[in-house]
Amino acid sequence: MQVKFNFTNQHHCPAGVVHCEDFRFWQAIGLYLRGELQLDHYDLISLAGGGKNILSCDLNNAEDIVTKSINVSFDLHQANTLVIINHRDCGAYGGSQVFNHDRNKEMDFHLDQLSQAKAKLIARYPDKKIIAVYVNLNDEKNLLDISSID
């Protein structure tokens, strides 16, 4: 099989994206990144729990796998933005049942996680743009509401 490669002699991209590996979300997240954030190309750092990994990693340890992946984006690929994404019903956090399926309670928790992760990243990478995104799952309507948070 041969596949067209569009990046010959191109080694830079505008952003790294840390999001959960969950198969249910990555395609929609790709649409969001392209449509809302105008990110056509980005390093995809796919890890269970998304932003949870930022909180648990050591950003000052270059051998930490999360830190190493982020640094590849920033240093090697010269990205100036990192997007961190959490989603509702994330198995890495125990899923929606941990919140008794209370959508607002779960969202508040994730917004707090994302705020903490964003603050930690800004402290370590003050010259980079950090964007935090929450993917809310509306089961009844089979819809995702995806939005960035402050």
Q: Print the SS3 string covering 74-95.
A: HHHCCCCEEEEEEECCCHHHCC
| Least distance (Å) between residue 87 CB and Zn ion | 6
Q: How distant is the alpha carbon of residue 95 from its chain centre?
A: 17
Stretch that binds Zn ion, among 6-14, 21-29, 39-47, 137-145 (CB under 5 A): 21-29
- Residue 22 binding Zn ion, by CB under 5 A: yes
CA–CA separation, 133 vs 148, rounded Å? Answer: 4
22 vs 106 by CB, closer to Zn ion = 22
Pairing of strands 143-149, 129-138: antiparallel
Instruction: List the one residue from 15, 90, 132, 146 that touches Zn ion (CB under 5 A).
Output: 90
Q: How many residues at the interface with Zn ion, by CB under 5 A?
A: 3
One of 13, 20, 47, 131 touching Zn ion (CB under 5 A): 20
CB-wise, 14 or 69, nearer to Zn ion?
Answer: 69
Binding site for Zn ion (CB under 5 A): 20, 22, 90
